[in-house]
Structure formats: C-alpha cells, structure tokens
Amino acid sequence: MPTFSSLRDYLRPALILMLLLTCLAMAALQYWRAATRGERFEREQAALLSTPVSLSAQQREREALIDRAAIARGRWLPAKTLFLDNKIHRSRPGYHVLTPLQLSGSEVVVLVNRGWVPAPRLRSELPVVASPTGEIEVAGVTRSFETRIFELQETPPQGAVWQHVREADYRRHSGLDALPVLLLQIGADNGGMIRDWGSAENPATKHHGYMAMWLVFALMAATYGLFAWRKK
C-alpha cells in the first residue's frame, strides 16, 4: 500500500510539470496576441497615412472598408445620436458621441464616432452636443463595430446611452441602413470633443513583456523541478 511519502514523491513532479506547461502555454498565448495585435496596429497606422477612400452607399464589403482612411459627405442626424458609456479620458468619466451621417444622395448612413465628452455632474443628464446643419465633409479612419463579448446577462440597448455598439443591434434599434463600419472622426473640433484614438505605442511591446514574464516563471518551475530531482 503506497505511503503518504511515496504519494508526495509522485505528486510533486506532476504538479511541477503542470505548472511548467501552464507557464509555457501562457507565454505562447502572449506571443500570439503580440503577433495579431501588432499586425492590426501596423495596419491602423498605415491607414492614417494612406489615400482616403470616399464612402458611398454602394460600399458594403466590410473587409474592403475596414481600417482605412476615409472621407464621407452628408448631413448629421442629431436626433439619432448615441452616447457610448464608461469611456475614461485622463481619469475622468465620459462618453463617446456617436452620430449617424446620412450620405449625400442616399438613405444610407455611416455611424461616426465624433470623440469623447465629459459626463455631466448628474448621471440622469446627457451631454449637450452641437451638430452643424447642412452638408458637411467628415474625415476619419474606419473601424469595425464591436463584436459580441462575454456578458453575464445580455441587455438590449435602450435610450440614448449604450454600453456596446454592435452592428446587428444598431441596425435593429436605430432603424437605419448603416454601412458595416464605424468612422472615427479625426481633426480638431470646435465643440469640445476630444479625439484621442489610442496610443502611438505598438501593443505588441506589452505582450512581448508578458511573454517574457511567463517564460521566466517557466524557467523558475523547471529549475525548482531539477533541484528537487537532484536532491532525491
């Protein structure tokens, strides 16, 4: 009958091996994230320097439009403005302002993220946002709508304040025929909206750091396992 000491001798190497494999798996995951997010960052940076495409009602291929510099002409539909909640800028809570732009000569819209505004003092109040009338030209870069994320309970959007903006939800609740991309507006704004669309640092750098950390943990586990084996 195996004794507690013998069971411990078998259990310890198994736990060390499990820890080593877990650390290596986490390092591989961070390597994959560095590759995928780094590639997307480079694509987004290249979009800022590329010749902008002119958005039109006929453009429906998402993959052909995504991550491109773009220009859209049309008029704002301010009554359809949404406020994307829980957006923090320099430790201050606020919203992203999303207003559809009806493209000239059509009923099709592109949803434009016009920038960040601070939240009013009272939660029950909404920011006051000015929208120029008449036909305007908006320059920006295209991005995808949000994809479905894990939620304990899915709640349908209600009112003007949304937690997430997904393409299917937006089409269904707005009643608008929207292009399959968002347009992040760039340039200065006289209405006080802040357009800071991310850091200039490649996110791959952060994930490479995490990968190195997990490799160090793996090395520590392997060293401890080797030390324990030689001590027997």
Give the pLDDT confidence of 152-184 residue by residue, as tens digits.
455 666 788 998 899 988 999 999 999 999 999
- What pLDDT was estimated at residue 200? 59
**100 with 82: CB under 8 angstroms?**
no
pLDDT tens profile 23-71: 999 999 999 988 887 777 777 677 666 678 899 998 888 888 888 889 9
d(CA 144, CA 178): 12
For the whole model, what pTM was predicted?
A: 0.69
> What pLDDT shows up at residue 48?
66
For residue 112, give both structure tokens. 């434009």
Report the candidate in 154, 65, 126, 138 with the shortest Cα–Cα distance to residue 100.
138
Strands 69-76 and 53-54: parallel
> Which of 144, 161, 122 minimizes the C-alpha distance to 44?
144
Biggest distance spanned by C-alpha atoms of the chain: 88
Q: How many residues does the chain have?
A: 232
Tokens of 228: 């324990």
- Evaluate the CA torsion angle 164, 89, 92, 122 in order and state its sign: negative
Residue 33, φ and ψ in degrees, nearest 5: -65, -40
pLDDT (tens digit per residue) in 70-97? 999 999 999 999 999 989 888 889 999 9
Cα angle: 65, vertex 69, 71; to 5 degrees: 90
Q: What is the pLDDT of residue 108?
A: 95
- Residue written as tokens 């030390």? 227
